[in-house]
Structure 1
Amino acid sequence: MRDDTPRIGKIGDALSQLGNVAFLPRHRETTANESISGRAHRMGWRVEWWIDLPFRLFGQRDHCRKAYYKDLERAAAFKAQHRDRIGLDH
């Protein structure tokens, strides 16, 4: 799997995933691979607006929604890579 995300972006993703499982409540409702932003969107948390705010200031709209779909995309790519590696058809 190739991921062209800059290293600083990957570090931000990793810190968000760590914060999600280490500090947010109800850790059983998430995985270690889900970002805080993606989880906020998936769960429909009202705090999503506040998470999006600093990103809006720099021109990025719908950060949490995009993070949610990026989390799904990464999971699907990892699953496909593993499936190809072990030769599964489904």
Structure 2
Amino acid sequence: MPPPLKGPDHSKPLRSLREVVAFNVRVFRVEKGLSQERLGFAADLDRTFVSQVERATVNVSVDNIEKLAESLEVDPSLLLVRPVPIDASPG
């Protein structure tokens, strides 16, 4: 049995839109229970490219954002939305 999928680090600040896309792709991928390999196959992209997207080391094109979003079954615009920070302090 494979290890559980690890979601993104919510404590890391997202400084660029590239980092926002990376964070969101990983969130949606983990929510769907997909490995990077399975997402890459579904999107017709290489697993290593998916890894680079999730690490924000590659400038992903609009066409590839669309492919990833379709494979994740989300609207492409959701990959560009900056997530609301999780507040660790109580009420």
TM-score when normalising by structure 1: 0.27
Q: Larger Cα Rg: Structure 1 or Structure 2?
A: 1
TM-score when normalising by structure 2: 0.27
> Higher relative CO (CA 8 A, sep ≥ 6), structure 1 or 2?
2
Structure with more of its chain in helix, by fraction: 1
